[in-house]
Amino acid sequence: MAEPVERRILRRMSPSDEEIVINFGPQHPSTHGVIDFVTQTNGEVIRRSVPDIGYLHRGLEKIGETVGYPGFMPFTDRIDYLAAMLANEGYAMAVERLLKIEIPPRAKYLRAIAGELCRISNHWVAVGTMASDIGASTPLTHALREREALNDLLEELCGARLTFNYARIGGVSFDAPEGWKEKILRYLEHLESYIQEWDRLISLNQIYVKRLANVAVISRAQAIDYGLCGPNLRGSGVSWDTRRDLPYGAYPDFTFDVPVGQGKMGTVGDCWDRYAVRVLEILESAKIIRQALDKLPEGDIMAKVARKPKPDAGEAMARVESARGEMCYYAVSDGSEKAYRLRVRTGSFMAMGIIEEMSHGLMIADLIALIASLDVVAPEIDR
Amino acid sequence: MRITTALDSTSLTTRYPKTALATTLFFMLALPFLLYAVLLFTLPFNRPESLDAVAQKFGWDLGRSLYRDTFYGIVFLVEGTFVALYTAVFAGVTTWVERRIAGRMQSRIGPNRPGVFGFISWVADAVKMLFKEDLIPAEADNLLFRSAPYFSMVGLTLPFVVLPFGESVIVADLNVGVFYLTATSAVIVLGILVSGWSSNSKWALFGAVRGAAQVVSYEIPAGIAIMVPVMMAGTLSMQGIIRAQGGWPWQWFACQNPAAFVAFFIAVTASLAEGNRTPFDLPEAESELVAGYHAEYSGFRIALFLMVEWANMWIMGALAVTLFLGGWQIPGVSVEMISQTRGTDVFPSLIWFGWQSASMLVFATKTWALVVLFIWLRWTLPRVRVDQMMSLCWKYLVPGAFACFIFTLFWVMVPASVHLASGIAISLGATALLVAFALRTRKNITQVKGASVDLSNW
């Protein structure tokens, strides 16, 4: 029998007489879910911290092989519950590629609008919890208040506030309700002015900047080597965004900037850069939503798809820019109505690898900042 | 259609925001005031003359009888009980005030159910804490674990002996008052260390070691900064220091001397660190150390720790008010005027009691203002890191406090007219800063367009 993972991780710890091994988690206020960071420290200074993941493994990929193509859609919500729209979209795209169908343009636009609203909502949680991990509790509730407005908007669209189950294979489940556009525009106007207050409250707060600048600097080369993706990759100064560089859905029609870390407060790739990239992405998402609402075409929201689609034998992969980085769905069909193999690659999982490398020499409070700045969500790691 | 909840229609707070604010302020001032009023009215009785005067009225001659000692004992017991009770009541009221303020700052509601605007929620919390299981970890050092909260309690209660509250309202005006206060309030760290060590938990140990390093370090800048007003007054007695100041802002020590103005900020920062308040809440650092030194505590014992933390804010505020902000001095009323109204009778006149009450009100208002400032800071600022906390202390506060100390050595030699000029200039400058701050805040708030939350659906 294989040795349990915990035992293997503990064996790698070699505390001297002056060092202790301490478990950050699995129940800890700042691990963003059930993750255990086995940490060897000398007082406040960390020698090595190894993430022990898998506490939230629910075998979702295996479920995908047993429930049939449309049936797996609600499960994708549970992969990344903070950005469920984007997880939906990725899975729908993978199956659509397998079925070789094109979806109506209105569905593409609705997916983009809903996805970007969801990205803003996710980034509010990300920056809010990061502030809370650094010790400021007020920004978190303000961020949640902003997210509440977004939840209301998405609830109006699809009836759910967290696990949306909005995308369908071949389109989306509901059309935009009446007056939705005006409500979104009103919120975006508020959002763009609110970001300035947010920056005054926390982003540029001297204590906050001092806590994050030059902490856990991930260089450009390291970020690429460790396969970081999304805001974590862009925080290290790598300008890569799947929406721009491998455009999908309605994204070729929009113009937007891809914010990258510039080391404004310290070094490129420090915790503050990863944080700032997220704040700037909120504004870019707002830009995309405005364009999409302007150009929103009329027409159907669903392509013609069989109730139980049976794709030809083959394989397909879809890459979407989720809120936590590039999310890849890989589906293999054997010609039946269930996937032969379904795999998901997620951003949080990729972020786990670099923690051991970065943790050496950090202080305990810095490790919390590093974990928060990588914006990990435990169910997305374990699936 | 969203179901209407307590958020909108039923809540008194949202219907009458101004009444809610007024009630909050009333309770904030009334409770400490009432408790100390008891002290004020019992104080004349703990003198032998007043006791004899009462006895003579009834035609008794107490002489040196046992009754006299018994009565004496009872009066002291009542006074002591009220001073000790004061910490509990103040801590309780502060939890409520803090949660109300935090709710307002965080665009949520805060406690508003039990009593008027949720005022009794602190009693409910205390009762809940009493009924919780008092869990002691199997591996913990039983005796030390159980006793640790009492170390903190002692450290909290002893300073109240020398804390003034009004012109004549003080338990004991020791001639080494300031020294006694700094010495006894340091006992709190003993509770932190003992609890952290005896819990036999790594998190608690981290918290305790951080706490010890922090409190002991910050005592140095605090101690030196406190010496500035002591030098200006020429006494260590708390009441003596207040008597050396005046009621108007330019008569306060913080304004009379530029170095004291700086020392005020150093002392307040250091006392934030000694009281483990944000941004220096490292010993319990919720997001890092789970709960720090009290991670393993539950029930009544954690209630004691939390009570110490909150009631300690009164000590922090009262000390700063005493040393730098004129204490209980009523603007325009000198100490002589108050003592003249006392009369020659054994029992003071009613006017004297009126002045005493006014001075208590002034002191309570000033202290509450500082306590609200501490609460405000807590809900605004992030936490500093442990090395930043140390470097702030040793690189900036200690040299700064020394500079203030040396400056004051020379400042006490300049004539009183310079003190007055400096007092007016600094108090005007401080007022201008406050106004600018308020205007800027207003501008910042109005910059955000639209309601913060889309209420059209509610």
pLDDT tens digit string along A97-148?
Answer: 988 898 999 999 999 999 999 999 999 999 999 998 888 888 998 888 888 8
Q: How far apart are the CA of B436 and the nearest CA of chain A, in angstroms?
A: 16
Per-residue pLDDT at B452: 52
Q: Are B236 and B179 in contact (CB under 8 A)?
A: yes
Nearest to A365 among B288, B290, B454 (CB): B288
How crowded is residue B319: how many other Cβ atoms within 10 Å of its Cβ?
25
Q: In this complex, do A135 and B449 lie within 8 Å of one another by their Cβ atoms?
A: no
Is A28 part of any domain? Answer: no
Q: Which of B38-52, B150-164, B197-211, B418-432 has the lowest mean pLDDT?
A: B38-52
For residue A100, what are its two tokens?
Answer: 């070789």
Q: Are A319 and A147 in contact (CB under 8 A)?
A: no
> Which tens digits make up the pLDDT trace of A44-98?
888 888 888 888 888 888 898 888 888 899 999 888 888 889 999 999 999 999 8
Q: Are A62 and A302 in contact (CB under 8 A)?
A: no
State the distance between the two ends of chain B, measured CA to CA, in whole angstroms.
7
| Partners of residue A13 in chain B, C-beta under 8 Å | none
Confidence of residue B399 (pLDDT cuts 50, 70, 90): very high
Which of B289, B385, B449 would best serve as a mutation to test chain A binding (most A beta carbons within 10 A)? Answer: B385
Residues 6+ apart with CB under 8 A from A285: A116, A117, A119, A120, A123
Per-residue pLDDT at B48: 66
Residues 6+ apart with CB under 8 A from B67: none
Q: How far apart are the CA of B12 and the nearest CA of chain A, in angstroms?
A: 22
| Partners of residue A130 in chain B, C-beta under 8 Å | none
Crossing angle (nearest 10°) for helices A180-198 and A105-134: 30
| Partners of residue B382 in chain A, C-beta under 8 Å | 131, 134-136, 202, 205, 207-208, 211
Q: How far apart are the CA of B305 and the nearest CA of chain A, in angstroms?
A: 20
Q: How far apart are the CA of A168 and the nearest CA of chain B, in angstroms?
A: 26
Q: In this complex, do B449 and A145 lie within 8 Å of one another by their Cβ atoms?
A: no
Q: What percent of chain B has pLDDT over 90?
A: 10
**Torsional sign, CA B335, B341, B345, B349:** negative
Nearest to B444 among A22, A189, A197 (CB): A197
Confidence of residue A281 (pLDDT cuts 50, 70, 90): very high
Per-residue pLDDT at A301: 86
Which of A364, A367, A371 would best serve as a mutation to test chain B binding (most B beta carbons within 10 A)? Answer: A364
Q: Residue A284 sits in a domain of what CATH number?
A: 1.10.645.10
Per-residue pLDDT at B396: 92
Q: How far apart are the CA of B91 and the nearest CA of chain A, in angstroms?
A: 21
Q: Which of A121-125, A332-336, B163-167, B210-214 has the lowest mean pLDDT?
A: B163-167
| Partners of residue B281 in chain A, C-beta under 8 Å | 135
- Per DSSP, the three-state class of B415 is coil
Q: B378 to chain A: nearest residue by CA?
A: A136
Higher pLDDT, B110 or B344: B110
For residue B283, what are its two tokens?
Answer: 């010993």
d(CA B433, CA B65): 62
d(CA B357, CA B33): 8
d(CA A172, CA A165): 9
Task: Characterize the bridge pairing of strands A20-24 and A36-42.
Answer: antiparallel
Going from N- to C-terminal start, the domains of chain B cover 10-127, 132-444
| Partners of residue B448 in chain A, C-beta under 8 Å | 190, 193-194, 196-197
| Partners of residue A29 in chain B, C-beta under 8 Å | 286-287, 290
d(CA A309, CA A68): 9
Is A126 part of any domain? Answer: yes
Per-residue pLDDT at A114: 92
Which of A19, A44, A203 would best serve as a mutation to test chain B binding (most B beta carbons within 10 A)? Answer: A44
State the distance between the two ends of chain A, measured CA to CA, in whole angstroms.
24
Kindly state whether B387 is in contact with chain A, defined as any CB-CB distance less than 8 angstroms: yes
Q: Are A153 and A286 in contact (CB under 8 A)?
A: no
Q: In this complex, do B383 and A152 lie within 8 Å of one another by their Cβ atoms?
A: no
> Which tens digits make up the pLDDT trace of B286-307?
777 888 888 888 888 888 888 8
Write the DSSP symbol of residue B60. -
Per-residue pLDDT at A32: 78
Q: Are B258 and B426 in contact (CB under 8 A)?
A: yes
Q: In this complex, do A30 and B288 lie within 8 Å of one another by their Cβ atoms?
A: yes
How crowded is residue B447: how many other Cβ atoms within 10 Å of its Cβ?
12
Q: B101 to chain A: nearest residue by CA?
A: A138
Residues 6+ apart with CB under 8 A from B216: B189
Nearest to A22 among B202, B285, B457 (CB): B202
Q: In this complex, do A190 and B450 lie within 8 Å of one another by their Cβ atoms?
A: yes
- Per DSSP, the three-state class of B276 is coil
Kindly state whether B3 is in contact with chain A, defined as any CB-CB distance less than 8 angstroms: no
pLDDT over 70 at B14, yes or no: no
Question: What value does the mean pLDDT take over residues A273-299?
Answer: 91
Q: How far apart are the CA of B391 and the nearest CA of chain A, in angstroms?
A: 13
- Tokens 């008794």 -> residue: B60
Is A227 part of any domain? Answer: yes
pLDDT over 90 at B398, yes or no: yes
pLDDT over 60 at B12, yes or no: no
For residue A238, what are its two tokens?
Answer: 């790598």
Q: In this complex, do B382 and A366 lie within 8 Å of one another by their Cβ atoms?
A: no
Spell out the SS3 assignment of chain A.
CCCCHHHHHHHHCCCCCCCEEEEECCCCCCCCCCCEEEEEEECCEEEEEEEECCCCCCCHHHHHCCCCCHHHHHHHHHHCHHHHHHHHHHHHHHHHHHHCCCCCHHHHHHHHHHHHHHHHHHHHHHHHHHHHHHCCCHHHHHHHHHHHHHHHHHHHHHCCCCCCCCEECCEECCCCCCCHHHHHHHHHHHHHHHHHHHHHHHHCCHHHHHHHCCCCCCCHHHHHHCCCCCHHHHHCCCCCCHHHHCCCCCHHHCCCCCCCCCCCCCCCCCHHHHHHHHHHHHHHHHHHHHHHHHHCCCCCCECCCCCCCCCCCEEEEEEEEECCEEEEEEEEECCCCCEEEEEEECHHHHHHHHHHHHHCCCEHHHHHHHHHHCCCCHHHHHC
Per-residue pLDDT at B397: 92
Is A101 part of any domain? Answer: yes
| Partners of residue A193 in chain B, C-beta under 8 Å | 447-450
Nearest to B385 among A136, A183, A365 (CB): A365
Q: How far apart are the CA of B85 and the nearest CA of chain A, in angstroms?
A: 31
Boundaries of domain holding A235 = 60-382
**So what's the ipTM on this one?**
0.82
Nearest to A65 by CA among A344, A349, A317: A344
Listing DSSP states for B165-215 in one string gives -SSS--S---TTHHHHHHHHHTHHHHHHHHHHHHTT-HHHHHHHHHHHHHH
Nearest to A337 by CA among A103, A166, A99: A99
- Per DSSP, the three-state class of B347 is coil
Is A39 part of any domain? Answer: no
- Per DSSP, the three-state class of B413 is coil
Q: How far apart are the CA of B445 and the nearest CA of chain A, in angstroms?
A: 8
Q: Are A164 and A186 in contact (CB under 8 A)?
A: no
Kindly state whether B452 is in contact with chain A, defined as any CB-CB distance less than 8 angstroms: yes
Nearest to A207 among B206, B210, B279 (CB): B279
Is A34 part of any domain? Answer: no
Nearest to A318 by CA among A310, A308, A327: A327
Nearest to B232 by CA among B15, B383, B447, B416: B416
d(CA A167, CA A165): 6
d(CA B88, CA B439): 37
Which of A41, A49, A141 would best serve as a mutation to test chain B binding (most B beta carbons within 10 A)? Answer: A141
| Partners of residue B454 in chain A, C-beta under 8 Å | 149, 152-153, 183, 186-187
Confidence of residue A278 (pLDDT cuts 50, 70, 90): very high
Nearest to A28 among B106, B290, B453 (CB): B290
How many C-alpha atoms does A315 have within 13 Å on its Cβ side? 8
> Which tens digits make up the pLDDT trace of A170-189?
888 888 888 888 888 888 88
Q: How far apart are the CA of B229 and the nearest CA of chain A, in angstroms?
A: 30
Q: How many domains does chain A have?
A: 1
Question: What value does the mean pLDDT take over residues A308-313?
Answer: 85
> Which tens digits make up the pLDDT trace of B355-371?
888 888 888 889 888 99
- Tokens 């939890």 -> residue: B95
Q: In this complex, do A190 and B452 lie within 8 Å of one another by their Cβ atoms?
A: yes
Which string of b and e fits B100-124 if b means at least 16 CB within 10 Å?
bbbbbbbeebbbbeeeebbbebbee
Q: In this complex, do A136 and B380 lie within 8 Å of one another by their Cβ atoms?
A: yes
Question: What value does the mean pLDDT take over residues A4-18?
Answer: 73
Q: In B, residues 58-97, which contact A (CB 8 Å cutoff)? A: none
- Per DSSP, the three-state class of B336 is helix
- Per DSSP, the three-state class of B226 is helix
pLDDT over 80 at A246, yes or no: yes
Nearest to A10 by CA among A55, A57, A49, A54: A49
d(CA B163, CA B247): 18
pLDDT over 50 at B10, yes or no: no
Per-residue pLDDT at B456: 41
Q: In this complex, do A141 and B285 lie within 8 Å of one another by their Cβ atoms?
A: no
| Partners of residue A137 in chain B, C-beta under 8 Å | 102, 106, 379
- Which residues make beta-bridge pairs with B196? none
Residues 6+ apart with CB under 8 A from B230: B178, B236, B241, B323
Task: Characterize the bridge pairing of strands A325-333 and A314-322.
Answer: antiparallel
Q: What angle do CA B209, B212, B213 make, to 5 degrees?
A: 85
The rounded mean pLDDT for chain A is 87
Per-residue pLDDT at A360: 86
Q: Which of A316-330, B23-37, B87-101 has the lowest mean pLDDT?
A: B23-37
Nearest to A94 by CA among A330, A313, A333: A330
Nearest to A200 among B106, B108, B444 (CB): B444
Rounded to two decimals, what is the model's pTM? 0.85
| Interface size between A and B, measured as CB pairs under 8 A | 115
Q: In this complex, do A365 and B382 lie within 8 Å of one another by their Cβ atoms?
A: no
Ramachandran angles phi, psi of A231, nearest 5°: -55, -30
> Which tens digits make up the pLDDT trace of A21-47?
888 878 888 887 788 888 888 888 888
Q: Are A212 and A274 in contact (CB under 8 A)?
A: no
Q: Are B228 and B259 in contact (CB under 8 A)?
A: yes
Q: In this complex, do B454 and A20 lie within 8 Å of one another by their Cβ atoms?
A: no
Q: In this complex, do B106 and A138 lie within 8 Å of one another by their Cβ atoms?
A: yes
Q: In B, residues 296-325, which contact A (CB 8 Å cutoff)? A: none
